[in-house]
Amino acid sequence: MTWPSRSHGAGSLTEADAGKEVTVCGWVDRNRNLGGLGFMDVRDHTGLLQVVFEPQTQPEASKLGARLRSEWVVCVRGQLRLRKDPNPKMATGAVELLASEVVVLNTVSRPLPFPVSDAEEKEQAREEVRLRHRVLDLRRPVMASNLRMRHRLVRCMRRFLEDEHGFVEVETPMLTRSTPEGARDYLVPSRLQAGEWYALPQSPQLFKQMLMVAGYDRYYQVARCFRDEDLRADRQPEFTQLDMELAFTDADGIMGLMEQLIARCFSEVLGVQVPLPLPRMTYADAMAKYGSDKPDLRYGLEFVDAIRLPQGGRVSNSRLKPPKGDVVNEAIAAGAAGLAFMRVQAGGAVDAAKPIREGLDEQQLAALLAAAQAEEGDLLLFAAGPAPVVNKALDRVRQYLAKDLNLIDTTAHNLLWVTDWPMFEFNEEEQRLEALHHPFTAPNPQDYEAAGGDLRNARAVAYDMVYNGVEIGGGSLRIYRRDVQQKVFDAIGLSHEEAEAKFGYLLDCFELGAPPHGGIAFGLDRLAMLFAGAPSIPVANAQLSELHVAVVRGQAAAGDGAAAEHDFW
């Protein structure tokens, strides 16, 4: 075994280095023989470099070079020279390394499950195969590029917050107690306190509020968080968020600072200039116009009681009728009973099913067409039922049609704030109110005062940042008075005794001079996914799998000794 040192990164060499003796180390990207000359590309974290083997001048190196195979680990020494036929597609395409010595540091002893080299990849392997062999997947150039992009993103955030705005990074505990954050906790048994359990944090929410009381009024953390919930392309059980909290700042101050942060990230990482200030839309308007609290504004299809699709002939009637219609099935999948439709003809006439025609008198029909701003040739789509069901169904249909009809400008970067969220939503299963954001969100002072302290119908001072139809960050002003916090607990059915048992330490802090404060958190994994243009979080982040399944081959059982110590088997 040897541990050689390289003189240069494979992808860092330029014409200015021609004539130098160079040592590079890395993996064999591909190896080929052309007319007696051997050519090999060596790959490391900096990029690719072409290596040339000349049997006439370096017979030993050439003989060994002919044996090299993809992904073998090598050290190559030689003289760098200018290429006779430069390759403009490679960053190092103007130079090549004439090999005088090759050392094989390691080989590949079994067939590769998929190609690592971009040059050899004809069809991308399935995600489950890539996750099972995650180390090879992370070695692929596209993955290396994505992870370095994520690094630049985090570095940009840190520099902005620390160097320009005086934020202090504080690490909060990982072993804490279970709190109502909206998802199930991951639990860790306590060995020293038999029968007791720690919870892994879903967010540092309570700790960062305590830091505000402690006087650290500009806090941030790149925080690891855990939620025991079903996997989705944009959601993982273990995730990272950029978490921030500020004291003595109102909502406009926090939102303005966050706009500057995100605009800086777009500029430095993607080279995209984001116009500021970002547009704002209330939660009520977002639901009324798009049926979604995270609307994608890169395309139209805004609706008022119905989706209006110009040139509606692009969607045939068969696609709107169950059971085989793909469009209506999107509405059904979202919980609607079906999808009604109407085609607008010349002179305000409509073509619709008989129940729709007979159910609307002329005045109602005219009002509907006017509200939808319908024109000849338009297709109007409706759903009926409770507002949450209708909104969900029409939102899903809107997104489906936008993709199906190629209405989305994939080069656009659309950001906005969604503000003025309701404090609560009704949980039908448990027949009670629950916090829409979390129970520490401050109520709108005007609503609070107008209702005499009754918070059930109040708006929250909450704000989410949405990028191309995806929520990338959410925050709010926080409650900092015990009496107001208790009223929120009362509204969600948490008794004084339960509140004291679960949150007594925070409530006590509110009696020790808690300052007005607020904050926000950005999902780093999700943001990195979107910046990379990746279809799912693992494609842009370093998770070795779903909670590292690829490494441990599943959720490994604890050893007998560890299980016995905890006495829960």
Average pLDDT of span 138-164: 96
HEC states along 220-242?
A: EEEEEEECECCCECCECCEEEEE
Q: Are strands 307-309 and 238-247 parallel, antiparallel or unpaired?
A: unpaired
Burial status of residue 49 (CB atoms within 10 A of its CB: 0-12, 13-18, 19 or more): buried
Lowest mean pLDDT among 133-142, 394-403, 415-424: 133-142
Lowest mean pLDDT among 206-215, 220-229, 353-362, 417-426: 353-362
Give percent of the chain with pLDDT exceeding 90: 75
> What's the pLDDT at 564?
56
> What's the pLDDT at 555?
53
Peptide bond into 277 cis (omega under 30): yes
> What's the pLDDT at 277?
97
Lowest mean pLDDT among 132-146, 179-193, 335-349, 352-366: 179-193
Average pLDDT of span 16-41: 94
Average pLDDT of span 361-370: 89
In this model, does residue 556 exceed pLDDT 70? Answer: no
385 φ, ψ (degrees, to nearest 5): 140, -170
> What's the pLDDT at 123?
82
How many Å apart are CA 375 and CA 294, to the nearest integer?
Answer: 28
Which of 20, 437, 542, 497 lies closest to 205, judged by CA?
437
In this model, does residue 9 exceed pLDDT 80? Answer: yes
The answer to whether residues 340 and 315 touch, using CB atoms and an 8 Å cutoff, is: no
Q: Does residue 365 or residue 415 have the better pLDDT?
A: 415
Could you tell me where in the chain the CATH 3.30.930.10 domains are found?
144-281+415-551
Other beta carbons less than 10 A from residue 412's beta carbon: 11
In this model, does residue 61 exceed pLDDT 60? Answer: yes
In this model, does residue 187 exceed pLDDT 50? Answer: yes
* pLDDT bracket for residue 558 (50, 70, 90): low
Average pLDDT of span 482-487: 94
Average pLDDT for the chain: 91
> What's the pLDDT at 569?
47
In this model, does residue 541 exceed pLDDT 90? Answer: no
In this model, does residue 551 exceed pLDDT 70? Answer: no
In this model, does residue 545 exceed pLDDT 50? Answer: no
* Cα atoms in the Cβ-side hemisphere of radius 13 Å centred on 411: 1
Could you tell me where in the chain the CATH 3.30.1360.30 domains are found?
299-405
> What's the pLDDT at 461?
98
In this model, does residue 385 exceed pLDDT 70? Answer: yes
> What's the pLDDT at 552?
41
> What's the pLDDT at 181?
52
Q: Does residue 259 or residue 566 have the better pLDDT?
A: 259
Q: Which two tokens stand for residue 249?
A: 């700042």
Give domain 15-111's CATH superfamily.
Answer: Nucleic acid-binding proteins (2.40.50.140)
> What's the pLDDT at 418?
98
The DSSP line for 27-38 is EEEEEEEETTEE
* pLDDT bracket for residue 543 (50, 70, 90): low
How many Å apart are CA 451 and CA 235, to the nearest integer?
Answer: 37
How many Å apart are CA 88 and CA 10, to the nearest integer?
Answer: 16
How many Å apart are CA 83 and CA 37, to the nearest integer?
Answer: 14
The answer to whether residues 310 and 279 touch, using CB atoms and an 8 Å cutoff, is: no
In this model, does residue 219 exceed pLDDT 50? Answer: yes
Average pLDDT of span 526-531: 95
Average pLDDT of span 87-108: 96
In this model, does residue 362 exceed pLDDT 80? Answer: yes
The answer to whether residues 120 and 70 touch, using CB atoms and an 8 Å cutoff, is: yes
- Look at the domain 299-405 and name its fold: Gyrase A; domain 2 (3.30.1360)
Average pLDDT of span 87-100: 96
Give domain 144-281+415-551's CATH superfamily.
Answer: Bira Bifunctional Protein; Domain 2 (3.30.930.10)
Average pLDDT of span 425-430: 87
Give percent of the chain with pLDDT exceeding 70: 94
Phi-psi region at 154: left, alpha or beta (left = phi > 0; alpha = psi -120 to 50): alpha
> What's the pLDDT at 122?
75
Lowest mean pLDDT among 24-28, 179-183, 367-371: 179-183
Could you tell me where in the chain the CATH 2.40.50.140 domains are found?
15-111
Q: Which two tokens stand for residue 254?
A: 């926090």
> What's the pLDDT at 566?
54
How many Å apart are CA 488 and CA 485, to the nearest integer?
Answer: 5
Average pLDDT of span 264-277: 97
> What's the pLDDT at 563?
54
